[in-house]
Amino acid sequence: MNDKLTACLERVRKPARYTGGEYNSIIKDKSNIDVRFAFCFPDIYEIGMSHLGSKILYGLLNSMDGVWCERVYAPYTDMEEQMRQRKLGLYALESKDEVKDFDILGFTLQFELNYTGVLNMLDLAGIPFRSADRTSLSPIVMAGGPCVYNVEPMADFFDLIVIGEGEEVMPELVNLYRKAKKVGWSKQEFLKNAAAIGGVYVPSFYDVEYKDDGTVKSVTAANGAPKTVKKRVVADFDKSYYPDRFIVPSTEIVFDRAMVELFRGCRRGCRFCQAGYTYRPIRAKSAETLKKQAEALIENTGWDEVSLTSLSSSDYPELNDLCTSLVAEFEPRHINLALPSLRADTFDINLVENVQKVRKSGLTFAPEAGTQRLRDVINKNLREEDLLNACKVAFESGYNSVKLYFMIGLPTETDEDILGISKMVKDVIYTFRQYGKNKARGVRVSVGVSTFIPKAQTPFQWAAQTEREEVLRKQRLLMDSLKIKNVTYSLHNFDSGFIEAVLARGDRKLSAVLEKVWEKGSRLDGWDECYSLDRWMQAFEECGIDPAFYANRVPEKDEILPWDHIFSGVTKSYLWSEYQNGLSGRATPDCKAGCRGCGALSLTGGGKCDV
Amino acid sequence: MFKMRILFEKKDDAAYISHLDLMKVLQRSFCRAKLPVKYSEGFNPHICMSILSPLSTGYRSKYELCDLELVSDGMPEEAEDRLNRVLPDGIRVLKAYPSAEGLAVAKIAYSAFNIELEGGNAEDALRIFEGDVFFEKRSKRGSKQVNMKDYIKSLSFSGTENGMLCECVLAAGDDPLNPSYVVGILREKGIVDANSVVRYTRTAVLDCDAKLFS
């Protein structure tokens, strides 16, 4: 380790975030490597190391001969200060080599408030921000992740962007790069060939024109790039690559455990949920495969917990059998099973008790809205009876705390809907008083309330975010009605939600704002202590951009949306019809009741969803 | 039931693993090595183990001790190799052996350190510690004014390629002296620069007779 890094590490909190050397991290012999890939996560280590997609791609890329994939995370503010003071460039954890000398930098964009983190990492690495300012073949700066369904505010910074799942397209891209390097292609030649790979979006090949009112006039593809870039998915998810070992961190991270992925996609179709639309079609792994993968991970990591992840775990067809056999295998070895993302309407107390034999955790449900009317608008097909019934059986069996998640600022929301939240909370407390096993202990209800953010490629992409004053009024209304014993609540900071909304439906004009706000000091905007709305508002003003145009405007039906040239699989007409159903309060049955023809099956060439 | 003691070293990247994190790192390694570990009873069972005389984050060590309770009747076969195959970079088991009975931990009286310093003159440095050195010592119970002399068993400086090496034996146990106080004095007196690089390495743990504690 060099002296500069040692000097930094001595002066920062939690230095183990910056050292690498964790068990299962991969060190390769540089003399046998022709592609060096820096997997960049624009948030701090604890967050990045918890991310499943990174683990999959890290294992996959390192399984390729001649390719070495290393990890890079955003330094926290104290480390950044030390690095800048000591002129230590951004380095990768495995080799500690500087990122600027790598062949490819791959950023994952998990949510919009990480965008300034990308710029800051590029700056720390000494790499120019804009794709146009990087003319040589190396480094290529690319991106992937859930934000790609509208990545336009970041489009000018990346050379290419992967739309969809990386398991197949990443090896194709890396091999193409290898060829480019060998043959001596220019960057432009490489990008032209890359654009021919399914799921690869080369933003510089798309010319965007705007109307006088600021909306998109046209998007024109050049250099043979497809008119719309279609999302890549893995057709046979059961057989797709999955690592048999994860890096075991030597310091605490957010999700410090093994994970297996039950299925991708979600059959519920909640109209606000971007993942619910963009991860379609639904593809499940077999229980057999999952058992093998969980067993291998536990063997190779020594973790004492396995989490069964998905967007809605109780919808996994073989959940009971899978849990029973995993518990039988793991319980005697003191290995816990975690089952997040359960729904109240299919809540099975026997399953939960079975799963939580090793360690009991709390229960969490997400009704999202306080009245049936509003739950129909957002298509959260959950009835209050279902929630209360789930609470009843849980309380009867000894649980005495429950977490409830809601959103405010949803389309068509009235004060009645807001007060419905506190009514629901009171009903939960009443249920405990009736059925609680140990009434003397009392009940604890924690209520988490976030603000609705309209996201691209969902039915609510046409909805406006509620304006600040109105959200604050609704928050106060809710707080006043929630001053109840046994209830704690936490409100999501609206100010960062506003910027998230601007970027979520933003266009390429915002790249100048991103540069400006970074200059003013924005980095880890996802962290309250680092975030400043004032900084953002100044940047908007200096760039002559009205943020309300993006956050609070309702686009027209026929308007070209900035992300229309990216195709998630679900057609715009389907999204529109779902939006209309929402506005008129009509719920849509989930996909198990019959295929609704959203379009996503076109990505896998037909067949049917695993519902 | 059986108690095994593990002597290990901790260097390079692994020096930055904090004490609590190191517990977890070792526990997971025990699981990977399939040692017959004993779990505590109760609501949240955990592996019964302890690290003796834990160090500050960032310190290297050639002499770390950990006691681990096992459900077996004696030493597991090839415990050292099994552990060394599954430990992260920088942590290596030197020896695993049956732990002595009783309150052995209470016998730890001193820790020996090597402190590598950037810059400074060995003679000047040594002169500072020849007489009384009063300083404010902080602990969980508050801070107090003490004489460093009372905490130093031995101390020497020698010149190196880019500075000095300080070899010292300092109080451990109930009222220990963290070697960073020694460096703090050197910085305060201007012997070494406040921004210079320092590397701490524990080389041994000793009992009250200054014999190697094992």
* Complex confidence, ipTM: 0.92
> What is the phi/psi pair of residue A64, to 5°?
-90, 135
Closest C-alpha among A392, A587, A435 to residue A384: A392
Q: How many independent structural domains does chain A possess?
A: 3
pLDDT at residue number B1: 83
Residues A351 and A397 in one domain: no
Cis peptide before A317 (omega within 30 of 0): no
Residues B58 and B149 in one domain: no
CB contact under 8 A, A10 and B57: no
Return the DSSP state at A467. Answer: P
Up-side HSE of residue B62: CA atoms within 13 Å toward CB?
9
Residues A51 and A187 in one domain: yes
Residues A501 and A574 in one domain: no
The three-state secondary structure class of B163 is strand
Cis peptide before A139 (omega within 30 of 0): yes
Decide: A48 and A54 in contact? Cβ < 8 Å: yes
A440: buried, middle or exposed (CB in 10 Å: 19+, 13-18, 0-12)? exposed
Residues B179 and B203 in one domain: yes
Residues B128 and B41 in one domain: no
Residues A316 and A386 in one domain: no
Structure tokens at A368: 């999202």
C-alpha to C-alpha distance for A226 and A201, rounded to whole angstroms = 9
Do the domain assignments include residue B10?
yes
Last residue of a domain, one of A207, A230, A253: A230
The pLDDT tens digits of the residues spanning A462-490 come to 999 999 999 999 999 999 998 888 899 89
Do the domain assignments include residue A459?
no
The three-state secondary structure class of B49 is strand
Q: Give B102's pLDDT tier (boundaries 50, 70, 90).
A: low
Closest C-alpha among A413, A430, A321, A423 to residue A373: A413
Do the domain assignments include residue A264?
yes
Whether chain B has a CB inside 8 Å of the CB on A398: the answer is no
Percent of chain A with pLDDT over 70: 99
Do the domain assignments include residue B78?
yes
The pLDDT tens digits of the residues spanning A391-439 come to 999 899 888 889 999 999 999 999 999 999 999 999 999 999 999 988 8
Give chain B's contact residues with A (Cβ, < 8 Å): 12-14, 16-18, 21-22, 24-25, 27-32, 39, 43-45, 57-58, 86-90, 118, 195, 197-199
pLDDT at residue number A361: 67
Return the DSSP state at A566. Answer: E
Q: Is the pLDDT of residue B165 over 60?
A: yes
Do the domain assignments include residue A520?
no
Q: Is the pLDDT of residue B43 over 80?
A: no
Residues A369 and A275 in one domain: no
Angle between helices A494-504 and A468-481 (to 10 degrees): 140
Last residue of a domain, one of B44, B70, B99: B99
- Interface A-B, measured as beta-carbon pairs within 8 A, has a size of 77
Q: Is the pLDDT of residue A323 over 90?
A: yes
B87 contact residues in A (CB cutoff 8 A)? 23
Kindly report the CATH number assigned to the domain that includes residue A315.
3.30.750.210
Return the DSSP state at A64. Answer: S
Residues B85 and B8 in one domain: yes
Return the DSSP state at A512. Answer: H
Last residue of a domain, one of B99, B133, B163: B99
Strand partners, A182: none
Return the DSSP state at B14. Answer: G
Last residue of a domain, one of B99, B131, B158: B99
Decide: B158 and B165 in contact? Cβ < 8 Å: yes
CB contact under 8 A, A359 and B44: yes
C-alpha to C-alpha distance for A71 and A89, rounded to whole angstroms = 15
Whether chain B has a CB inside 8 Å of the CB on A332: the answer is no
C-alpha to C-alpha distance for A452 and A410, rounded to whole angstroms = 6
The three-state secondary structure class of A120 is helix
Q: What is the mean pLDDT of residues A25-50?
A: 97
Residues B76 and B131 in one domain: no
Last residue of a domain, one of A230, A251, A282: A230
Residues A108 and A33 in one domain: yes
C-alpha to C-alpha distance for A28 and A97, rounded to whole angstroms = 13
The pLDDT tens digits of the residues spanning A355-395 come to 776 666 678 899 999 999 999 999 998 999 999 999 999 89
A310: buried, middle or exposed (CB in 10 Å: 19+, 13-18, 0-12)? buried
**Domain encompassing residue A481:** 362-453+464-509+545-553
Residues B83 and B62 in one domain: yes
Residues A353 and A377 in one domain: no
Kindly report the CATH number assigned to the domain that includes residue A397.
3.30.750.200
Q: What is the mean pLDDT of residues B5-25?
A: 96
Non-local CB neighbours of B214 within 8 Å, separated by 6+ positions: B5, B7, B65, B97
Whether chain B has a CB inside 8 Å of the CB on A11: the answer is no
Q: Is the pLDDT of residue B104 over 90?
A: no
Kindly report the CATH number assigned to the domain that includes residue B112.
3.30.70
Non-local CB neighbours of B55 within 8 Å, separated by 6+ positions: B10, B19, B61, B64, B202
Residues A78 and A218 in one domain: yes
**Domain encompassing residue B53:** 2-99
Do the domain assignments include residue A184?
yes
Structure tokens at A113: 């408030």
Non-local CB neighbours of A268 within 8 Å, separated by 6+ positions: A276, A311, A312, A315, A379, A380, A381, A590, A591
Structure tokens at B124: 């000047």
Residues B111 and B135 in one domain: yes
Kindly report the CATH number assigned to the domain that includes residue B17.
3.30.70.580
Q: Is the pLDDT of residue A231 over 90?
A: yes
Cα dihedral across residues B55, B57, B62, B66: positive or negative: positive
Residues B16 and B75 in one domain: yes
Test mutation, A9, A251, A361, chain B, max B CBs within 10 A: A251
Do the domain assignments include residue B212?
no
Do the domain assignments include residue A527?
no
Residues B175 and B85 in one domain: no
Residues A343 and A376 in one domain: no
Up-side HSE of residue B158: CA atoms within 13 Å toward CB?
4
C-alpha to C-alpha distance for B123 and A231, rounded to whole angstroms = 70
C-alpha to C-alpha distance for A391 and A365, rounded to whole angstroms = 10
Residues B131 and B202 in one domain: yes
The residue to which tokens 């880019």 are assigned: B162
Q: Give A234's pLDDT tier (boundaries 50, 70, 90).
A: very high
Residues A213 and A246 in one domain: no
pTM: predicted TM-score of the whole model, two decimal places = 0.95
For residue A253, the chain B residue with the least C-alpha distance is B21
Query: Which letter, b or e, does each residue of A574-606 get, where b requires 16 or more Cβ atoms within 10 Å of its Cβ?
Result: bbeebbebbbeeebbebbeeeebebbbbebbee
Q: Give A1's pLDDT tier (boundaries 50, 70, 90).
A: low
Residues A338 and A370 in one domain: no
Do the domain assignments include residue A333?
yes
Residues B11 and B33 in one domain: yes
Do the domain assignments include residue A438?
yes
Do the domain assignments include residue A539?
no
CB atoms under 10 Å from CB of B159, counted, come to 13
Do the domain assignments include residue B203?
yes
Whether chain B has a CB inside 8 Å of the CB on A251: the answer is yes
A606: left (phi over 0), alpha (psi -120 to 50) or beta: left
Residues A85 and A194 in one domain: yes
Decide: A109 and A45 in contact? Cβ < 8 Å: no
Do the domain assignments include residue B29?
yes
Structure tokens at A470: 């109105």
Q: How many independent structural domains does chain B possess?
A: 2
Residue at A531: amino acid letter: Y
B39 contact residues in A (CB cutoff 8 A)? 334
- HEC letters along A28-51: CCHHHCCEEEEEEECCCHHHHCCC
CB contact under 8 A, B21 and A3: no
C-alpha to C-alpha distance for A220 and A227, rounded to whole angstroms = 7
The pLDDT tens digits of the residues spanning B46-78 come to 999 999 999 999 999 999 999 999 999 999 999
C-alpha to C-alpha distance for B204 and B214, rounded to whole angstroms = 9
Non-local CB neighbours of A282 within 8 Å, separated by 6+ positions: A263, A264, A265, A266, A267, A591, A609, A610, A611
Last residue of a domain, one of A181, A204, A230: A230
Residues B58 and B128 in one domain: no
